[in-house]
Amino acid sequence: MTKIALILLGAGESSRFRDSTQDLAELKQKNIVKLPKKQWIRTGEIPLWLKVAKELHSAYLFCDYVLSAAELEIPYMQKYLDSFNLDFKLARGGTTRQESLKNAINILDTNAEFVFVSDIARCNIPQTLCQKILQEAGKYDCVVPFLNLHDTIAYEDSTLQYLKREQLKIIQTPQLSRLSTLKESFKQGDFTDESSGIFAIGGSIGFIKGEQAARKLTFLQDLEYFKLPYPSNQTLVGTGSDIHALTSGNGIVLGGIPIACPYKLIAHSDGDVCLHALCDAILGAIGAGDIGKWFPDSDSTYKDADSKELLAQIVDFVYSVGYSLKQADITIFAQKPKLLPFKSAMESQIAELLGIPKFKVNVKATTTEKLGFVGREEGIFVQASVVLGYFNWKNLLKGVL
């Protein structure tokens, strides 16, 4: 049996997809801070990359399985793979498609003769197409599916030329490449697919008829073609808490708001116990660890860090991987200082950071009637709860978000 490894490429930033809808001002009116990456839009509860991985995993008994991913997303993706018992190895994505492919090849631990490479953007690949490609294994250095063009095609440079459409091909993936030849092609520069690189070094290319169903997801509007299941309307809830000790000083920061007082909070960062609890609540809702894992106090990078920036990184991640923040409720336990004058400003700041309206943020402050370490003015304790949902791209297409 021919040894073939499966490589899926899913490390891109989806810039064209995220820029393919209304301008940012209009999105903000609909309380959308940022569109998700296309590989993270949901069909039901699962992200698109997982749908593709499951389908191609079952297409053939591959000798190895590798998935390229953005470095920040690798631990989170591993939880999904573990949940569905998929034995993909995760490779760090590069700045180009070819760099991501190189990184994926570098962690193959088998003596694969060929690699079957596809992009997550090909999110609806028929099994029939996979089988047609795989049946050609060994006949060519690269097997490529293609589609014909049916419109008149003109090329304009210094002059205008009408091209013979019957001689033109729309190249698709997956592509099946001889691994040794593919590696050799990398020495010739950066190519947008395997076939063009292999052709550049004189390798043999075998074309097979592709399928319209395997078209590439590039723009938001392309989703209408695929008729994917709606994202789940499940509500996700997360809770978080944090404590920091007080000592004498010249002020604290809570909820992103500086508060003048004769105290300071003892912490590696700026000590914003309110935003730290909120970070943990958000991470808890999506199952992505905790603030200590993301920003360890053993890392000098985060010494005196602004907690607003830490929260912004987490919020950016949340939107990128396909969620929407809906609501936040925070309770601050502090004997001193008195926080009533600052609650509204905190709510405004937190709403801005989360990308939701102020009326969906609630900050409460209470004392402990001089009981415990809070009552003795030794520290401040905060509890936070958040509500999230899956990003509803179906409604965005309809313009009803």
Quickly count: other Cβ atoms within 10 Å of residue 287's Cβ. Answer: 12
298 is known to lie in a ligand binding site? yes
122 is known to lie in a ligand binding site? no
Can you tell me the distance from the alpha carbon of 172 to that of 399, in angstroms, rounded to the nearest whole number? 31
Can you tell me the distance from the alpha carbon of 292 to that of 52, in angstroms, rounded to the nearest whole number? 32
CA 308 to chain centre: 21
The single-letter DSSP state of residue 2 is: -
Q: Which amino acid is at 365?
A: A
94 is known to lie in a ligand binding site? no
- Asked if 126 contacts 136 with a C-beta cutoff of 8 angstroms, the reply is no
Q: In 3D, which of 245, 176, 183 has the Cα closest to residue 205?
A: 176
- DSSP secondary structure string for all residues of 35-77: PPPGGG-EEBTEEHHHHHHHHHHTSS--SEEEEEE-GGGHHHH
CA 267 to chain centre: 30
276 is known to lie in a ligand binding site? yes
Q: Which amino acid is at 171?
A: I
Can you tell me the distance from the alpha carbon of 107 to that of 110, in angstroms, rounded to the nearest whole number? 9
297 is known to lie in a ligand binding site? yes
242 is known to lie in a ligand binding site? yes
247 is known to lie in a ligand binding site? no
378 is known to lie in a ligand binding site? no
Reading the block at residue 171, the tokens are: 């190249």
Q: Any idea which residue has 């996700």 for tokens?
A: 236
269 is known to lie in a ligand binding site? yes
241 is known to lie in a ligand binding site? no
Can you tell me the distance from the alpha carbon of 315 to that of 355, in angstroms, rounded to the nearest whole number? 9
299 is known to lie in a ligand binding site? yes
268 is known to lie in a ligand binding site? yes
Q: Any idea which residue has 């890392």 for tokens?
A: 299
Q: Any idea which residue has 């999110």 for tokens?
A: 123
Give the C-alpha distances (Å, rounded to integers) separating 246 from 206, 273, 333. 70, 11, 13
Can you tell me the distance from the alpha carbon of 266 to that of 243, in angstroms, rounded to the nearest whole number? 10
244 is known to lie in a ligand binding site? yes
150 is known to lie in a ligand binding site? no
243 is known to lie in a ligand binding site? yes
367 is known to lie in a ligand binding site? yes
332 is known to lie in a ligand binding site? no
296 is known to lie in a ligand binding site? yes
Phi-psi region of 93 (alpha: psi -120 to 50; beta: other; left: phi over 0): beta
Can you tell me the distance from the alpha carbon of 259 to that of 337, in angstroms, rounded to the nearest whole number? 8
Alpha helices in 122-222 (DSSP H): 127-134, 179-185, 194-200
- Report the binding-site residues: 242-244, 268-269, 276, 290-292, 295-299, 366-369, 373, 376
- Report the binding-site residues for a divalent metal cation: 242, 244, 276
